[in-house]
Amino acid sequence: MDVINQFVQLFTLADEAATERVTERLTLVLSDPAGYQEQYAEELAERGIVAGLPVQELRDLALIDALLNEELVWESDWKDVASDLVYGLNETLTQQHRAMQLGEPAWGRSAVTGPEALDIVQDLLEPIGLALVLLTLDSDSYALTVVADAQAEETRQLAKELGFSVTVY
């Protein structure tokens, strides 16, 4: 199995069709950034991107958009409260066909925002064997997904090898 496919399967799990679509898209951005920008110009324009992007930003955006199209990422504003992040990640868990769901944050913690909200979500993920993944984008939003906690280090290593910016909690 090639490295891109191995990386993608950390998020798509057993969904072969999603794995193929995401892998195809990431292969394009990694091998031909200009071709990627041309092929996905309309989608990039919807994000307000009409000029060329630095390769790193384009690569990271491609990862987010590829997973977002499969409903495997929850994109939220940094001002969103922890309970909204829980809701979004539960949607992602459902799309990944995982049997578990996150419970609500403890009373008084559900309205927390920003980096503290990410810590709260990670605290909820740990007991069920999952790790929070923040897909890095230079913006005021969070692109969040999950991987198995046992695959956290593999996720970091493969992302680095492929040139994607991710933070795995």
pTM, entire model:
0.93
Which amino acid, 8?
V
Please tell me the predicted confidence (pLDDT) of residue 49: 86
The arrangement of strands across the sheet holding 130-135 comes to: 74-77, 141-148, 130-135, 166-168
The domain tally of the chain equals 1
* Residue 84 domain boundaries: 3-168
Over residues 136-162, the pLDDT tens digits come to 877 778 999 999 999 999 999 999 999
Cα 113 to Cα 97, 117, 120, distances in angstroms? 27, 5, 10
Over residues 57-77, the pLDDT tens digits come to 999 999 999 999 999 999 998
Provide the residue count of the chain: 169
Over residues 99-112, the pLDDT tens digits come to 999 999 988 888 99
Cα 122 to Cα 1, 34, 55, 85, 118, distances in angstroms? 30, 36, 30, 11, 6
148 beta partners: 130
